[in-house]
Amino acid sequence: MSEEQIKNLEAQFEARIARDEKIEPKDWMPEKYRKTHIRQMSQHAHSEVVGMLPEGNWITRAPSLRRKVALLAKIQDEAGHGLYLYSACETLGVSRDELYDQLHSGKAKYSSIFNYPTITWADMGAIGWLVDGAAIINQVPLCNTSYGPYARAMIRVCKEESFHQRQGYEIMIKLAQGTPEQKEMAQDALNRWWWPSLMMLGPTDDVSVHTAQSMKWKLKRKSNDDLRQQFIDQTVPQAELIGLTIPDSDLKWNEEKGSYDFGEIDWDEFWQVVKGHGPCNKERMNARVSAWEEGEWVRDAAMAYAEKQKERKEKQAV
Amino acid sequence: MGTKNWPLWEVFVRSKNGLEHRHCGSLHATDAEMALENARDVYTRRNEGVSIWVVESKNITASNPDNNGELFEPAQDKVYRHPTFYDLPDEVKHM
Amino acid sequence: MKSKNLYKYILGIADNSLILGQRMGELCGHGPSLETDIACTNISLDLFGQVRSYYQYAAKIAGDNRTEDDIAMLRKEREYVNVLLVEQPNTNFAYTMARQFLFDAYHLLFLQELEKSNDLTLSAIATKSIKEASYHQRFSSDWIKRLGDGTEESHQKMQEAINGLWTYTDELFHQTEADKAMVEQGVGVDVTKLKEVYYKQVGQILEGATLEIPESKWFQKGGKQGIHTEHLGYLLSDLQYMQRTYPNMSW
């Protein structure tokens, strides 16, 4: 194809997206669109799968059977969501195994929030309430993104995640209404998870590199700063309602702009964790890599068995 | 032994009798039985189905979107296939 | 207490599901593929669902204001009466599936009999659980076949797991005093009668999976009397951690 022809196709392609048409796997698409989508969807999938680990810590130690089944079901959903998103990636011609390789070799990123440790039960509450809360803000607009398989996966994800945040907030309510010890546990978790949750919505708009292109392709509907503001505005009253204090002395309602002003985010910490030096980056990656490596003989065996069965059937048919 | 990837399967779920099976996603499995089991666990955790079909993705033949013009556009102007094409007096209420 | 034997009898059933559910829960996020993770979590969730029904009933029988969680998490190690089989660790995926399979084969036979109990609550729990246990058995038997008849490596690993766990199978068919009393009243299941069918069914699957049926006749016992392997203590320290560290709180 000549350069002009490609330019022409690209113009048509952008026009389709602007008209709110969906792009499907076999449609022509610019290479950059394909690559950007693989990157974003796989990052998202990796985040779901790595995200199972910090919460997985507490399955065996959940304080009641009711909490245990809710947590298990939530983490199981995360595995499901990882699976939906990897599948969406596969429609663009990259296999799940390749994507795993990228994760395990450190080439691919996942949400940095999962590199923080879960050290008390209240962290299960804080993750559900804050981390899932921030994730939902990011994800709901994606149900309408331009790439069909991604949009469909996100519709499923959002539908299923609706209980996740409630699950977490309910844990926090119970703690906040409990004994002083429990309340302290809840406040401590909020103190530790608040700032990383704000960071989770991404760097500020002035340094964010992908935003303009992503907006055009509907991979992003609002800027990081807008999303962060939305998250803060909706979360602060939820904290107040249960008597917990947001750990930000600069936080105050700004009547004029109709939203909260908030303090400086420690972006050095953010970049430290993104670059692989957070408290649990190594642990998370080791856990994923060893699950994958220790599972290899199992996956090979299942494949070998299926092939043998197929051969046997074919022989019988002769 | 070199690692072989588990093949990809497409999953179709009938949400209740009387409705068609609908494509709901895909997954990996070594054979049809495993694909069915995995589909049950992955796609019907919330009571979403009464019947599941699985088919290995490589067995699906899809039309090429480059041919969409010749495949689908000729149907666009065949308005006489739709009831609104025909003029009836207002007195005829149901037809 | 209305019936000490009934209470003990319920714990005998429920503890198996509790401990096995806990073991399966440990694996979440660490399995060989996302699909198996999701499947194993489903099994764990089914088992915990059963556990809650049993303990809620046991709490009612006990009538001393204890809740399902008190019963599940606040007994001493010697008071847990699960069989030794279910507390064995997730040494590798072969052990996990072998443990599941050796339990499922028993569990399904047991529930089919429990459904006939003249205790309506137990019978109803059994009816619901049978469907779950049938699926578990199908799932774990399939994995026995895949790993037994897969590669040389998987065959060896699965044979090792079966050999290692075989010694815990006989205990499934031991009767406790509570068992005997409940059988007499038409409430309980006579597990001694399940033994023959169990070994026959298990043997068939193992043979189909090209695995050898272990010849050893040396069996371990004690779980039903609360004398466990060393593994249980560690499992309980996780299970009970919150309830022990923060007593009398609600979560």
Instruction: Quick: pLDDT tens for C38-70.
Output: 999 999 999 999 999 999 999 999 999 999 999
Cβ-Cβ contacts under 8 Å for A138 (sequence gap 6 or more)? A201, A227
**Is residue C156 scored above 80 in pLDDT?**
yes
Give the phi and the psi of residue A23 in degrees, each rounded to 5. Answer: -100, 130
Whose CA is closest to A262, among A273, A244, A249? Answer: A249
Of the candidates C33, C42, C139, the beta carbon closest to that of B28 is on C33
Report the C-alpha gap between A119 and A58 in whole angstroms.
9
Q: Kindly state whether A74 is in contact with chain C, defined as any CB-CB distance less than 8 angstroms.
A: no
Between chain B and chain C, how many beta carbons pairs sit less than 8 Å apart?
Answer: 25
Report the C-alpha gap between A191 and A193 in whole angstroms.
6
Q: Kindly state whether C142 is in contact with chain B, defined as any CB-CB distance less than 8 angstroms.
A: yes
ipTM of the complex, rounded to two decimals? 0.96
Burial label, C241 (beta-carbon count in 10 A; 0-12, 13-18, 19+): middle
- Nearest chain B CA: its distance from A306 CA (Å): 6
Collapsing DSSP states into helix, strand and coil, what is residue B77?
Answer: coil
- CA end-to-end distance (rounded Å), chain A: 49
Which residue of chain C is at minimal alpha-carbon distance from A288?
C30
Report the C-alpha gap between C242 and A66 in whole angstroms.
14
Whose CA is closest to C91, among C172, C170, C157, C15? Answer: C157
Q: Tell me which of A212 and C239 has the higher pLDDT.
A: C239
The pLDDT of residue A296: 97
**Test the C interface: residue of A57, A67, A68 with most C CBs within 10 Å:** A68
The H or E element containing residue B68 is helix B68-72
Burial label, A33 (beta-carbon count in 10 A; 0-12, 13-18, 19+): buried
H helices of C2-92, in order, are 4-26, 34-62, 68-73, 84-87
Report the C-alpha gap between A227 and A304 in whole angstroms.
48
Q: Which domains occur in chain C, in start order?
A: 2-245 (1.20.1260.10)
**Cα dihedral sign, C54-C60-C64-C66:** positive
CA distances from A65 to A59, A70, B85, C9 (A): 10, 9, 63, 20
Q: Tell me the pTM.
A: 0.94
**Test the C interface: residue of B31, B34, B45 with most C CBs within 10 Å:** B34
The H or E element containing residue A315 is helix A296-317
Tell me the one-letter amino acid at A291.
A
Output the CA angle C134-C137-C139, nearest 5 degrees.
Answer: 110
**Is residue C179 scored above 60 in pLDDT?**
yes
Report the C-alpha gap between A52 and A75 in whole angstroms.
6
Name the DSSP letter for residue B7. P
The H or E element containing residue A313 is helix A296-317
Q: Kindly state whether B71 is in contact with chain A, defined as any CB-CB distance less than 8 angstroms.
A: no
CB contact at 8 A, C153 and A309: no
**Is residue C24 scored above 50 in pLDDT?**
yes
Tell me the one-letter amino acid at C5.
N
Whose CA is closest to B49, among B14, B17, B20? Answer: B14
Collapsing DSSP states into helix, strand and coil, what is residue B12?
Answer: strand
The pLDDT of residue A51: 97
Give the phi and the psi of residue B11 in degrees, each rounded to 5. Answer: -115, 135
Q: pLDDT > 90: what percent of chain C? A: 98
Report the C-alpha gap between A197 and C12 in whole angstroms.
45
The pLDDT of residue B79: 87
Collapsing DSSP states into helix, strand and coil, what is residue B9?
Answer: strand
Report the C-alpha gap between A21 and A31 in whole angstroms.
19
**Cα dihedral sign, C54-C57-C62-C65:** positive
List, for chain B, all residue ranges whose pLDDT scores fall below the cut of 50.
1
Which residue of chain C is at minimal alpha-carbon distance from A100?
C33
CB contact at 8 A, A130 and A87: no
Report the C-alpha gap between A294 and C95 in whole angstroms.
13
Which residues of C fall within a CB distance of 8 Å from A171?
Answer: 251
**Mean pLDDT over all residues of chain C?**
97
Name the DSSP letter for residue B26. E
The pLDDT of residue B3: 67
Give the phi and the psi of residue A259 in degrees, each rounded to 5. Answer: -155, 180
Q: Copy the structure tokens of residue B47.
A: 């009571």
Write out the DSSP string of C153-185. Answer: HHHHHHHHHHHHHHTTTGGGGPPPHHHHHHHHT
Report the C-alpha gap between C86 and C96 in whole angstroms.
10
Report the C-alpha gap between C19 and C85 in whole angstroms.
10
**Is residue C1 scored above 70 in pLDDT?**
no
Report the C-alpha gap between C102 and A2 in whole angstroms.
65
Which residues of B fall within a CB distance of 8 Å from A77?
Answer: 45
pLDDT in tens, chain A (318 residues): 788 888 899 999 999 999 999 999 999 999 999 999 999 999 999 999 999 999 999 999 999 999 999 999 999 999 999 999 999 999 999 999 999 999 999 999 999 999 999 999 999 999 999 999 999 999 999 999 999 999 999 999 999 988 999 999 999 999 999 999 999 999 999 999 999 999 999 999 888 776 778 889 998 888 999 999 999 999 999 999 999 999 999 999 999 999 999 999 999 999 999 999 999 999 999 999 999 999 999 999 999 999 999 999 999 887
The pLDDT of residue B1: 43
Report the C-alpha gap between C79 and C68 in whole angstroms.
15
Report the C-alpha gap between C234 and C87 in whole angstroms.
10
